[in-house]
């Protein structure tokens, strides 16, 4: 894995940024707007997708955003997918963007959401989610192959590399019918590669400049691959963290959602814990699990910032090494990844002891912006965010699902229809395999018990502590310890032996911290978590197992039209729910996806029906 190298801000004597595309707003309008016949082309459209090969200092994006805001006939949603091989830190971005006072009303919002500089895809939302910026930090020559989108217009920098032909083929692969491109200048090898990739090119004069710009249009008459749905109605089964965040994301995209929950309120199953841990999970090779948890961690933080009713605390998380060998693996992972300290650091044992206020024998990872989240508050806030689009029916168990002319019906035990919609999203956690359409799903149920420790029973904790288990700071007068993990154990009762196990594991991490606590005096809670065989989420269109063959490729796998699922989160519902809800809606809408293609495939429920389905043996799972 190549480390991400941040850009360096160079300023002219007058303070003007010397960005790769220049700092001239007129030039930006010539290329990003006039070169792609905008804003005319996005008018009357539900959505419009623009891809930019070099974000630079954000001038083209600000130009597009301002033009969209100023256009009364603008498209419903504007997607901008932009690459940054060497992204600038937020502080440099703020300095540079002072040179464009005409965008002073927009630039602070971009700076405020600017992501931590880590490889991969980062989703930023503006104007109530109508303008979506997907930043891809990494080399576009390789990262273009990793994304999925249907692009209406391109803004190209003057790239030139040994991979011109492959890069231009990637642009062609992503292009929607009639896609256009514009560039201030493109080298001859790139022009030749674009022509070979089915783009017709021409030069045209630019307004107020003697330098012409390059424009082009896709000549292929390929069919439309990603069409927006006509009927935006959905049933979500389950009001836990998976179902609630999915309903929220659907409603934000304009869907009418009916949530059916068998309990009397939200978050009564695996999402009912007093609090859960929010932090990424690094690995030296930055494997799929690490990339998904990092992307999920950042997406969850972004969602929490939009939900005023959600309870959470950025108190920091310390993940101690289990023993010296694991501690060395943690140290090596931080060195290998080279991520900014604001995301993660390694601290030695003495520094960890100082932060915790208790002696420990190993160092470990320090996540300064990690913390705890109360999942039930997230569920309530998410379901309440769009009252005109989300209808929740509690005390409504669903017995079975049935195809119908409109899409799907949810029925109760006597066959009475509970709801009907074009799409059903299964988010019932451990209950999903009880439905006929999901009996093939290789999901296991894991019993977990947490312990509620009175806040005055021990010294206070400022941070979340993880090692063999976890311990939280005080939440509503209680400190959460956990959690046990037992398969094939349906016992819902709270057991003293499990309290003792949680205490023992905490004492191994913080020697003697709860030595005087009597487990028989403690309360707690038992939950049943849906676990996938490879410990990755199960999110996407549901395959038809009767029509699948082991040698089918994933993209050719027959699906059950209109049936989707968000399952298998295990102990990571808080970390994955926002990202997976975004992935669900993006796939339903045919919009640019929020994660790379290999991660989309790694989460696809169809992976379990394929011969080449990979197991989890090559990736570590450090679940505490």
CB 450 within 8 A of CB 502: yes
The predicted structure's pLDDT at residue 158: 72
- Which DSSP category does 605 fall into? G
pTM for the predicted model, two decimal places: 0.95
The predicted structure's pLDDT at residue 616: 40
Average pLDDT along the chain: 92
The predicted structure's pLDDT at residue 403: 97
3-class secondary-structure state, position 408:
strand
The predicted structure's pLDDT at residue 70: 97
CB 433 within 8 A of CB 441: yes
Does the pLDDT value for residue 222 go beyond 80? Answer: no
Q: What is the pLDDT of residues 516-568, one digit of tens each?
A: 899 999 999 999 999 999 999 999 999 999 887 777 789 889 999 999 999 99
The predicted structure's pLDDT at residue 565: 98
The predicted structure's pLDDT at residue 477: 93
Taken in order of first residue, the domains within the chain and their CATH numbers are 25-218 (3.40.50.150), 233-269+376-442+541-584+594-601 (3.50.50.60), 317-368 (no CATH)
The predicted structure's pLDDT at residue 26: 85
Output the DSSP codes for 11-39: B-TTS-B--TT-S-HHHHIIIIIGGGTTT
Q: What is the pLDDT of residues 401-454, one digit of tens each?
A: 999 999 999 999 999 999 999 999 999 999 999 999 999 999 999 999 999 999
The predicted structure's pLDDT at residue 18: 65
The predicted structure's pLDDT at residue 271: 83
Q: What is the pLDDT of residues 300-320, one digit of tens each?
A: 999 999 999 999 999 999 999
Position 99 confidence tier, pLDDT thresholds 50, 70, 90 = confident
- H/E segment holding residue 43: none
The predicted structure's pLDDT at residue 546: 87
Scored b (16 or more CB within 10 A) or e, 117-154 reads bbbbbbbbbbeeebbbbbbbbbbbbebbbbbbbbbbbb
CB 194 within 8 A of CB 219: no
3-class secondary-structure state, position 96:
helix
Beta-carbon neighbour count of residue 391 at 10 Å? 14
Does the pLDDT value for residue 78 go beyond 50? Answer: yes
Does the pLDDT value for residue 21 go beyond 50? Answer: no
- Which DSSP category does 514 fall into? T
Does the pLDDT value for residue 223 go beyond 90? Answer: no
Residues 81, 84, 90, 94, CA torsion sign: negative
- Average pLDDT, integer, range 598-607: 96
- Name 393's Cβ contacts closer than 8 Å, sequence gap at least 6: 258, 259, 260, 261, 418, 419
- Average pLDDT, integer, range 85-91: 94
Q: What is the pLDDT of residues 114-143, one digit of tens each?
A: 999 999 999 999 999 999 999 999 999 889
């Amino acid at each position: 894995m190549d480390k991400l190298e941040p850009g360096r801000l160079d300023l002219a004597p007058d303070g003007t940024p010397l960005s790769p595309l220049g700092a001239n707003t007129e030039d930006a309008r010539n290329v990003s707007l006039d070169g792609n016949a905008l804003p005319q082309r996005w008018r009357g459209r539900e959505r419009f997708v623009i891809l930019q090969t070099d974000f630079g200092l954000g001038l083209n994006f600000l130009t597009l955003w301002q033009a969209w805001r100023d256009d009364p006939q603008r498209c419903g949603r504007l997607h901008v997918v932009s690459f940054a091989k060497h992204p600038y830190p937020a502080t440099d971005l703020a300095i540079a963007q002072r040179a464009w006072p005409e965008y002073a009303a927009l630039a602070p919002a971009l700076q405020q959401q600017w992501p931590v500089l880590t490889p991969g895809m980062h989703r930023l939302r503006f104007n109530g989610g109508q303008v979506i910026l997907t930043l891809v930090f990494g080399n576009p020559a390789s990262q273009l192959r990793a994304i999925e989108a249907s692009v209406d217009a391109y803004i190209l920098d003057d790239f030139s590399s040994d991979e011109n032909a492959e890069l231009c083929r990637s642009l062609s692969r992503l292009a929607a019918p009639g896609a256009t491109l514009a560039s201030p200048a493109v080298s001859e090898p790139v022009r030749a590669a674009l022509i070979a990739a089915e783009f017709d090119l021409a030069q045209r004069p630019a307004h107020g400049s003697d330098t012409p710009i390059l424009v082009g249009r896709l000549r292929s008459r390929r069919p439309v691959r990603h069409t927006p749905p006509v009927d935006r109605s959905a049933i979500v089964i389950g009001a836990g963290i998976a179902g609630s965040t999915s309903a929220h994301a659907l409603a934000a995209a304009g869907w009418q959602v009916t949530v059916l929950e068998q309990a009397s309120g939200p978050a009564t199953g695996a999402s009912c814990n007093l609090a859960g841990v929010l932090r990424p999970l690094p690995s030296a090779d930055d494997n799929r699990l690490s990339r998904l948890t990092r992307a999920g961690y950042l997406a969850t933080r972004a969602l929490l910032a939009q939900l005023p009713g959600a309870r959470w605390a950025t108190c920091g998380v310390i993940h101690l090494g289990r023993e010296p060998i694991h501690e060395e693996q943690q140290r090596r992972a931080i060195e290998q990844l080279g991520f900014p300290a604001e995301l993660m650091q390694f601290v030695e044992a003495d520094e960890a002891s100082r932060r915790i206020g208790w002696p420990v024998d190993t160092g470990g990872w320090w996540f300064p912006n990690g913390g705890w989240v109360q999942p039930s508050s997230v569920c309530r806030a998410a379901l309440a965010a769009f009252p005109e689009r989300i209808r929740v029916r509690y005390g409504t168990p669903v017995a079975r699902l049935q195809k119908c002319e409109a899409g799907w019906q949810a029925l109760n035990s006597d066959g009475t229809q509970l709801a009907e919609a074009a799409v059903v999203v299964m988010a019932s956690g451990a209950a999903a395999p009880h439905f006929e359409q999901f009996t093939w799903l290789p999901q296991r149920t894991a019993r977990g018990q947490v312990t509620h420790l009175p806040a005055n029973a021990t010294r206070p904790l400022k941070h979340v502590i993880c090692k063999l288990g976890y311990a939280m700071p005080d939440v509503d007068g209680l400190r959460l310890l956990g959690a046990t993990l037992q398969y094939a154990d349906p016992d819902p009762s709270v057991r003293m032996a499990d309290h003792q196990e949680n205490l023992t594991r905490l004492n191994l991490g913080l020697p003697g911290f709860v030595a005087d606590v009597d487990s028989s005096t403690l309360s707690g809670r038992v939950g049943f978590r849906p676990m996938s065989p490879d410990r990755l989420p199960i999110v996407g269109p549901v395959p038809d197992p009767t029509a699948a063959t082991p040698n089918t490729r994933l993209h050719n796998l027959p699906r059950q039209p209109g049936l989707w699922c968000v399952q298998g989160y295990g102990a990571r519902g808080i970390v994955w729910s926002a990202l997976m809800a975004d992935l669900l809606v993006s796939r339903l809408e045919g919009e640019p996806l929020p994660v790379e293609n290999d991660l989309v495939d790694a989460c696809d429920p169809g992976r379990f029906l394929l011969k080449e389905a990979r197991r989890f043996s090559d990736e570590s799972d450090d679940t505490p």
